Amino acid sequence: MAKKLWGGRFTGETDRVVEDFTESISFDYRLIEQDIAGSIAHAAMLGSREIISRADSQEIISGLKSILEDYRAGKIEFDPAAEDIHMNVEKLLADRIGEPAGRLHTARSRNDQVATDIRLFLKAHVVLIEGFFRQLQTVIVDKAEEYSDAVMPGYTHLQHAQPVLLGHHLMAWFWMLERDLGRFRDCAQRVDVLPLGSGALAGTTFPIDREFVSQVLGFGAVSDNSMDSVADRDFAAEFVSCAAMMMVHLSRFSEEIILWNTSEFGFVALDDSVTTGSSIMPQKKNPDVAELVRGKSARVIGSLVTLLTLQKGLPLTYNRDLQEDKEPLFDAVDTVESSLQAFAIMVRTARFDRERMRAAAGEAFSTATDLADHLVRQGVPFRTAHEQVGAIVAYCESNGKTLEELSTDEIHRFAPDASEDVSSLLTVDACVQARHAGGGTAHSEVVSQIKRARTLLEA
């Protein structure tokens, strides 16, 4: 068995079962681009500070670039016996350039190296995720504009509450996602800190230049405490926390799409491109994207619980437990990116049934609050108005009538202060357009929301 790069103190070999148990190359190979980038910056710094010769520095950098080129061409095979991506890269480098490769690890540890790799990985993926956010938000705004005047029922407790515009409802999801994006951007500031140069935990005796490395790698700041630097996974847990909140929002959106897509609701038809059929029931057209996003939210929530639990009992500084941070982190990143992309396709291709939604909007006495508000404007105390309208609704239920079907005389039996034209105020259109206070569902306010949203998207 090949000698380990850390094997000088050991006389025996690692048990094969233990070697398989402790390896991480099977998943942390995904950090190879970040690992090589960090190593190139580190080698350049070592050469510039004459900690190693400039010739060795250049040979190391050339060797690392050739490894990266071969990896991108699919020519690299990783060795599980080398444990992780860091040792695999160093082993590959030694095979190519010989002795100078052994100088690369001067003034660093795998502890600060892996922390740097993960931060670089997240820095790159936050940018990708922001792009996917904007794609989905653009689709939502486009769809909200298309259906800006479509009336639908609004719900509380999953029961008819008040009429709203579909454009208004869709824009609620835009603003949720805008907050989610803000959380990712805020998290990115704490990701953007260079830990390299912290060594194993106590720093280094070599005259390194951490600012040089920070600038080369594009970090906005350098960490302040070497012990904190190698022990910290707050940034990873925070990232997954942001991801979990976003997935909860997409899951709630999915639940509405699933409900609206049922024959009982019939508000939306989903495109063939985002649905599948049943292996036994020929008539089925299942909302798979929405259901899977709803299900995948559990994965990301689980990843957050994993990362928090992983850290809760760890003493400073680095512990091998932290090897377990990568798989839940990678899974959360992959799930967020794929969910945002698939969701955008589903919303973009969705078709809403204006007539079905409008018919449903007028059901279940959804304009009752407007009748109560009308009475308040006539001078009736709200609690009295609430009681009077409740009695009117009970009368309607007993007599099989809607509020719109009531005569003025019938309304006056319970609410004598109602005006003669009160019936004209109880249509779904009148109720929607009456809500023109800022953030309301009136068409003018929906148009204003869409305008503000497009300004954000164009910024």
CATH code, 429: 1.10.40.30
Q: Are residues 298 and 444 in the same domain?
A: no
Q: What is the pLDDT of residues 201-222, one digit of tens each?
A: 999 999 999 999 999 999 999 9
Residue 452 lies in a domain: yes
Structural domains of the chain, count: 3
Residue type at position 121 = F
Residue 339 lies in a domain: yes
Q: Which of 26, 53, 273, 278 is catalytic?
A: 278
Residue 24 lies in a domain: yes
Cα 143 to Cα 36, 137, 139, 273, 438: the distances in Å are 43, 10, 6, 18, 21
Q: Are residues 119 and 100 in the same domain?
A: no
- 435 φ/ψ angles, rounded to the nearest 5 degrees: -95, 70
Residue type at position 428 = V
Cα 257 to Cα 107, 247, 288, 328, 406: the distances in Å are 55, 15, 11, 28, 34
Residue 156 lies in a domain: no
Q: Are residues 123 and 230 in the same domain?
A: yes
Q: Are residues 12 and 121 in the same domain?
A: no
Q: What is the pLDDT of residues 129-162, one digit of tens each?
A: 999 999 999 999 999 999 999 999 999 999 999 9
Q: Is 372 left (phi over 0), alpha (psi -120 to 50) or beta?
A: alpha
Percent of the chain with pLDDT over 90: 93
Q: What is the pLDDT of residues 261-286, one digit of tens each?
A: 999 999 999 999 999 999 999 999 99
Identify the domain boundary among 75, 106, 137: 106
Give the domain CATH number at 63: 1.10.275.10
Residue 154 lies in a domain: no
Q: Is 364 left (phi over 0), alpha (psi -120 to 50) or beta?
A: left
Cα distance between residue 247 and residue 235, in whole Å: 18
Q: Is 412 exposed, middle or buried (0-12, 13-18, 19+ CB in 10 A)?
A: middle
Q: Are residues 413 and 334 in the same domain?
A: no
Kindly tell me if the per-residue pLDDT of 57 is higher than 90. Answer: yes
Q: Are residues 298 and 261 in the same domain?
A: yes
- Give the model's pLDDT for residue 6: 62
- Give the model's pLDDT for residue 12: 77
Q: Are residues 85 and 219 in the same domain?
A: no
- Give the model's pLDDT for residue 9: 76
Cα distance between residue 105 and residue 297, in whole Å: 40
Task: Go through 27-55 and write b for each residue having 16 or more CB atoms within 10 A of its CB, e for each that does not.
Answer: bbbebbbbbbbbbbbbbbbbbeeebbeee
Identify the domain boundary among 312, 332, 353: 353
Q: What is the pLDDT of residues 364-399, one digit of tens each?
A: 999 999 999 999 999 999 999 999 999 999 999 999
Identify the domain boundary among 91, 106, 121: 106
- Give the model's pLDDT for residue 2: 61
Kindly tell me if the per-residue pLDDT of 288 is higher than 90. Answer: yes
CB 178 within 8 A of CB 456: yes
> Mean pLDDT score of the chain, rounded to an integer?
96
Q: Which of 157, 263, 279, 398 is catalytic?
A: 157
pTM of the model: 0.93
Q: Are residues 25 and 100 in the same domain?
A: yes
Of 18 and 428, which is predicted with more confidence?
A: 428
Structure-token pair, residue 49: 């500070």
Residue 155 lies in a domain: no
CB 111 within 8 A of CB 317: yes
Q: Are residues 89 and 123 in the same domain?
A: no
Domain encompassing residue 393: 360-458
Q: What is the pLDDT of residues 327-371, one digit of tens each?
A: 999 999 999 999 999 999 999 999 999 999 999 999 999 999 999
Is 157 a residue of the active site? yes
Contacts of 365 (CB under 8 A, 6+ apart): 160, 393, 396, 402, 403
Give the pLDDT mean for 85-97.
Answer: 97
**Cα separation of the two ends of the chain:** 57
